[in-house]
């Protein structure tokens, strides 16, 4: 349960960072627009010199299903990056929150006094 909450808060923090990245990009370009998840993933991937997005696509298409990539991942990569992480973070934080039973009022007893 704690792992789900921590992961949810991490996703919420990532959403905040990505929204800030979009804000800084808007200030530098003079045009306000939100970047899709696929673009941000590609930019981060290029900065680290990897090809994780291409490897993910190849792995899903070869080992699982081409339809999964085409119908689930491709539209997801077209959504705003901060919105994807915000939605995932909110779902995880709310799903793994602490469920406390209603508190019973404390009953004070007088022991030993008559």
Question: pLDDT, tens digit, for every residue of 44-102?
Answer: 898 888 888 889 999 999 999 999 999 999 999 999 999 999 999 999 999 998 877 76
Residue 110's pLDDT band (cuts 50, 70, 90): low
Residue 59: predicted pLDDT: 94
Task: Please check the confidence at residue 38 and state whether its pLDDT lies above 60.
Answer: yes
Residue 107's pLDDT band (cuts 50, 70, 90): confident
Residue 112's pLDDT band (cuts 50, 70, 90): low
73/38 Cα distance (integer angstroms): 10
Residue 64: predicted pLDDT: 93
Residue 98: predicted pLDDT: 80
14/82 Cα distance (integer angstroms): 7
76/47 Cα distance (integer angstroms): 22
Q: Report which of 84, 73, 80 is spatially closest to residue 39, judged by C-alpha positions.
A: 80
**Which sign, positive or negative, has the C-alpha torsion 66, 67, 73, 78?**
positive
Residue 111: predicted pLDDT: 66
Question: To which H or E segment does residue 90 belong?
Answer: helix 81-95
Residue 50: predicted pLDDT: 82
């Amino acid at each position: 349960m704690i792992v789900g909450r921590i992961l949810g808060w991490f996703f919420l923090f990532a959403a905040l960072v990505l929204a800030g990245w979009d804000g800084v990009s808007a200030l530098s370009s003079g045009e306000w627009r939100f970047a899709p998840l696929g673009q941000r993933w590609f930019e981060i991937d290029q900065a680290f010199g990897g090809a994780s997005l291409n490897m993910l696509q190849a792995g899903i298409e070869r080992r699982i299903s081409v339809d999964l990539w085409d119908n689930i991942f491709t539209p997801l990569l077209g959504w705003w990056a901060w919105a994807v992480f915000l939605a995932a973070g909110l779902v995880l934080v709310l799903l793994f929150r602490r469920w406390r039973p209603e508190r019973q009022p404390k009953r004070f007893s007088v022991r030993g006094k008559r």
